[in-house]
Structure 1
Amino acid sequence: MDIGLILQLVKANLGMNTSIRDIYLTKLIEGIITELTEEKGIALDGSNSYHLMFVVDYAVWRFLSKDSDAGMPEHLRYRLKNLYIHAGGGASV
């Protein structure tokens, strides 16, 4: 996946126009990609806009909720379940 593109989209979603948090956001994005591929077993396709936008939305949520005890929003849980289904299922969310 194109980390640079994801970073730009995350920053656009958050309304950030400086690079002050780029290192943090980049590591957050890399961690999410690793979590989805290695821990959850989902094969992400960088050319699939659905996969790309899920990573963007997941990163935005993780950034905004870093100090919150609230669980994952329903729309993200639903989309994650769809990724499992299309990847062959197996793991539960």
Structure 2
Amino acid sequence: MDVIQILALVKARLGITAAVRDTYLAAIVYGVVRELEHEKGIALDSGDANHLMFCVDLATWRYQSRDSDGSMPRHLQYRLHNLMIHSGGGRP
């Protein structure tokens, strides 16, 4: 997955134009991609817009909810489950 492209889209979604938070946001993006691939067993495809936008949405949610105790929103849970099912049911 193209972490730089995801980072640019996360920044656009958040309305961030400066590079001040890039290190922190890049760490979140990298963590999201690694978790999806290694822990959830999802074979992410850079050419698949659904995969790309799920990574953007999940990284954005992680950034915005970093100080909250709330669980993942239902729409993200639903999309994650669908990705896991379409990737063969989880772990490789």
* TM-score, structure 1 normalization: 0.94
Aligned match of 2:23: 23
Q: Which structure would you say has the larger RCO, counting Cα contacts within 8 Å and 6 or more residues apart?
A: 2
In 2, the alpha carbon distance for the partners of 1:9 and 1:90 equals 26
Q: Runs of 4 or more off by more than 3 Å in structure 1? A: none
Cα deviation code 1:25-71 (max 9, x no counterpart): 11110111110111111110011000000000000000000100010
Aligned match of 1:67: 67
> Aligned letter for 2:8?
Q
Cα deviation code 1:4-31 (max 9, x no counterpart): 1111100010010100000111111011
Change (3 A) 1:22 1:77: same
Cα deviation code 1:64-93 (max 9, x no counterpart): 0010001000110000010011011157xx
* TM-score, structure 2 normalization: 0.95
> Aligned letter for 1:85?
I
Gaps of 5+ in 1: none
Number of aligned residue pairs: 91
Output the aligned Cα RMSD: 1.0
